[in-house]
């Protein structure tokens, strides 16, 4: 394998995945080799990266400038609108979720970048697919703006790899659960909010019904998987659209019962909103055997370990 010093740009670096991925990349590559970017104005301490660029990722000229200024080799392109918010702003969601990906692929094709990571989602699945253990290669029938943008993005990744050898890698993330930075506007976000409310007020009203199972993943495992995929030798990768990743599968009721084991007075009720239809269109569980075989995907957190870790950390965070 060609050896070079990685210079990394992360878009959406202040978001739910971005914050934790940036920390990990800084640990591995050193702060000076990591450039965080986002829409916020710079404030001291907002990122662990050595550099911060306030950047609208749809501004192609600016993005090209940043890539050239820092001699970026690798982009983690995380800026995106999630499923709930995308339904409210469909045209902007399409523009943000898709166009910058294509531009990054173009830059790689021109030799300006060596590697790209782009997150896809379980939202690519939809109507008429089985609910359980959904295989890698099934007909994708997304019913949401977000899912359509992710499905199209996957196809662009595959296209740029097949046609130009662009090394763009992707994971279909399930719902991501973390305590450091809240998500926003996602259908699976109930599984984050529930922990905040459990610790703060002892009760939660779920916008997803009690028996709706969705695939979920703890952030530590998501970061580990992302880096495993990015480090894997090219020749091991058999999927160039996006890898299925299943994590664990549970319902709001099952999660509430885990929380009650730690906070016995916790109470939950259910008032499903428009996101219920989105959840109903997604699988309950995913077959991720190809990722296990190709690049050694494995998980450290099940529902109990995750719940204990979330509550322990949120108790400290929310008491400050």
Q: How far apart are CA 56 and CA 54, in angstroms?
A: 7
Size of site (CB under 6 A) for ligand SER:
12
Among 14, 123, 268, 306, binds ligand SER (CB under 6 A): 123
Min CB(176)–ligand SER separation in Å: 6
**Under rule CB under 6 A, residue 178 binds ligand SER:** no
**Under rule CB under 6 A, residue 80 binds ligand SER:** no
**Under rule CB under 6 A, residue 83 binds ligand SER:** yes
**Under rule CB under 6 A, residue 173 binds ligand SER:** yes
If residue 171 lies in a helix (H) or strand (E), which one and from where to where? strand 168-173
Nearest to 192 by CA among 219, 221, 222, 162: 219
φ/ψ region of 209 (left if φ > 0, alpha if ψ in -120 to 50, else beta) reads beta
Query: Catalytic residue among 76, 146, 204, 218, which?
Result: 146
**Segment contacting ligand SER (CB under 6 A): 35-43, 68-76, 119-127, 262-270?**
119-127
146 is catalytic: yes
If residue 204 lies in a helix (H) or strand (E), which one and from where to where? strand 203-206
**Under rule CB under 6 A, residue 206 binds ligand SER:** no
Direct distance between the N- and C-terminal alpha carbons of the chain, in angstroms, rounded to an integer:
47
How buried is 275 (Cβ within 10 angstroms: 0-12 exposed, 13-18 middle, 19+ buried)? Answer: buried
Task: Please report how many Cα atoms fall inside a 13 Å half-sphere around the Cα of residue 177, on the Cβ side.
Answer: 31
Among 33, 37, 121, 285, binds ligand SER (CB under 6 A): 121
38 vs 247, beta carbon nearer ligand SER: 247
Binding site for ligand SER (CB under 6 A): 82-83, 121-123, 146, 173, 175-176, 186-188
Task: Point out the residues that are catalytic.
Answer: 146
């Amino acid at each position: 394998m060609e050896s070079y010093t990685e210079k990394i740009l992360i878009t959406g670096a202040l978001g739910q995945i971005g914050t934790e991925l940036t920390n990990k990349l800084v640990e591995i590559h050193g702060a000076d080799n990591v450039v965080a970017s986002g829409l916020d104005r710079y404030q001291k301490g907002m990122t662990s990266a050595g550099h911060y660029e306030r950047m609208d990722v749809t501004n192609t000229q600016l993005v090209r400038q940043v890539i050239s200024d820092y001699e970026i080799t690798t982009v983690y392109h995380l800026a995106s609108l999630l499923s709930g918010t995308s339904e409210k702003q469909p045209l902007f969601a399409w523009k943000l979720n898709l166009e910058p990906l294509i531009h990054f692929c173009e830059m790689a094709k021109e030799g300006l970048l060596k590697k790209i990571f782009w997150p896809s989602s379980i939202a690519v699945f939809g109507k008429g697919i089985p609910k359980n253990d959904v295989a890698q290669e099934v007909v994708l029938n997304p019913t949401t703006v977000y899912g359509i943008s992710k499905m199209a993005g996957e196809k662009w990744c595959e296209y740029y790899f097949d046609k130009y050898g662009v090394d763009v890698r992707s994971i279909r993330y399930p719902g991501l659960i973390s305590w450091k930075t809240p998500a926003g506007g996602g259908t699976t976000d109930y599984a984050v909010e529930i922990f905040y409310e459990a610790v703060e007020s002892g009760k939660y009203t779920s916008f997803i019904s009690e028996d709706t199972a969705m695939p979920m993943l703890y952030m530590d495992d998501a970061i580990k998987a992302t880096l495993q995929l990015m480090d894997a030798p090219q020749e091991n990768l058999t999927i160039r659209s996006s890898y299925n990743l299943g994590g664990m599968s549970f319902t709001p009721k099952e999660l509430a019962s885990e929380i009650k084991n730690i906070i016995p007075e916790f109470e939950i009720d259910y008032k499903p909103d428009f996101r219920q239809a989105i959840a109903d269109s997604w699988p309950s569980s995913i077959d991720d055997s190809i990722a296990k075989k190709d690049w050694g995907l494995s998980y450290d957190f099940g529902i109990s370990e995750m719940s204990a870790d979330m509550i322990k950390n949120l108790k400290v965070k929310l008491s400050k």
